[in-house]
């Protein structure tokens, strides 16, 4: 029965994450009112599940990957609720709630690995996984290009202003750089592509977690590619959060976007060296 409560907790954590992420990153106020109650309800079901699981196992010290992951997810959710209750903020939910869901997701599937009904269904999910991640990578790359063009345009405008101030002549031939969009347009393009890529990356990682569990089980948490992928997701959240909360724009935002793009390239390269992240062909 504890699996039923754990699955209910996983669903509630997922829904709470879907309210916390838009509320914090996209300024949707309705999500703030629903986030803490949903997370608290998920925590209660999770606590009942863990208590029943350890009671049936006749030990109170976690044994095995599933028990450790479930208890760690419970601790993260409990800490988030404590901070949210004391300080009235859901900002930490963008990190805590998805982490709790991912930690609970694999144990909630049960002791046996989940298997897809057919090879065709598995290939379909694999296509979805790849499509979402490619869309996220393309969005990051496009944001990187827009940020680079922002820096070029900013430098060109400053140089041109100095030349005009000293020479008193604004004429000259029109080149490629003169056809670049204004700085504000480049900034909005860079930010919009980041906002588009984030849900794509989140869904891609969730589908990838299901595929990895079906192929290798909890061992996929030891895969460097998986760890780097989640590290990149966290950096993505940090980037969006800083841009929104601190009003980060211009040169510093361009440098931060470039850093996330570099991590993306490292994750891509890690795929070539991963020994765990190898999905068998259908």
pLDDT recorded at residue 282: 44
pLDDT (tens digit, 9 = 90+) per residue, 33-78? 788 899 999 999 999 998 888 887 777 776 666 778 788 889 999 9
Tell me what percent of the residues of the chain surpass a pLDDT of 90: 11
C-alpha distances out from residue 73 to 5, 84, 101, 171, 212, Å: 14, 16, 7, 63, 19
> In terms of pTM, does the model score above 0.75?
no
pLDDT (tens digit, 9 = 90+) per residue, 267-280? 666 666 655 555 44
Six-digit token string for 21:
């992420």
Q: What is the mean pLDDT of the chain?
A: 77
Are 156 and 176 contacting, i.e. CB atoms less than 8 angstroms apart? no
Spatial CA neighbour of 10 closest among 90, 87, 99, 133: 99
Spatial CA neighbour of 223 closest among 186, 161, 270: 270
**For residue 199, what pLDDT band results from cuts at 50, 70 and 90?**
confident
More confident residue, 98 or 115: 98
C-alpha distances out from residue 187 to 119, 161, 170, 193, Å: 44, 20, 25, 10
Are 38 and 77 contacting, i.e. CB atoms less than 8 angstroms apart? no
216: CB partners within 8 A, 6+ apart: 223, 276, 277
């Amino acid at each position: 029965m504890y699996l039923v409560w754990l699955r209910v907790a996983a669903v509630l954590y997922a829904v709470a994450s879907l309210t916390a992420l838009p509320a914090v990153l996209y300024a949707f106020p309705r999500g703030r009112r629903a986030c803490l109650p949903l997370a608290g309800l998920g925590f209660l079901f999770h606590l009942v599940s863990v208590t029943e699981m350890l009671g049936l196992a006749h030990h109170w010290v976690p044994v095995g990957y599933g028990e450790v992951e479930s208890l760690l997810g419970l601790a993260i959710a409990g800490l988030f609720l404590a901070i949210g209750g004391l300080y009235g903020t859901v900002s930490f939910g963008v990190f805590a709630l998805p982490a709790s869901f991912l930690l609970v997701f694999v144990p909630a599937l049960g002791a046996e690995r989940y298997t897809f009904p057919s090879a065709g269904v598995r290939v379909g999910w694999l296509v979805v996984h790849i499509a979402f991640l490619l869309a996220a990578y393309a969005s990051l790359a496009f944001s990187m290009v827009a940020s680079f063009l922002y820096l070029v345009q900013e430098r060109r405008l400053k140089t041109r202003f100095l030349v005009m101030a000293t020479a008193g002549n604004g004429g000259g031939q029109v080149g490629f750089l003169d056809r670049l969009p204004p700085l504000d347009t480049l900034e909005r393009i860079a930010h919009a592509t980041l906002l588009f890529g984030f849900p794509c990356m989140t869904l891609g990682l969730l589908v990838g977690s299901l595929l990895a569990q079906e192929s290798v089980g909890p061992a996929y948490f030891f895969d460097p590619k998986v760890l780097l992928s989640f590290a990149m997701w966290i950096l993505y959240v940090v980037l969006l959060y800083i841009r929104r909360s601190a009003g980060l724009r211009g040169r510093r935002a361009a440098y931060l976007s470039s850093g996330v793009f570099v991590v993306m390239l490292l994750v891509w390269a890690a795929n070539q060296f991963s020994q765990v992240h190898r999905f068998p062909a259908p």
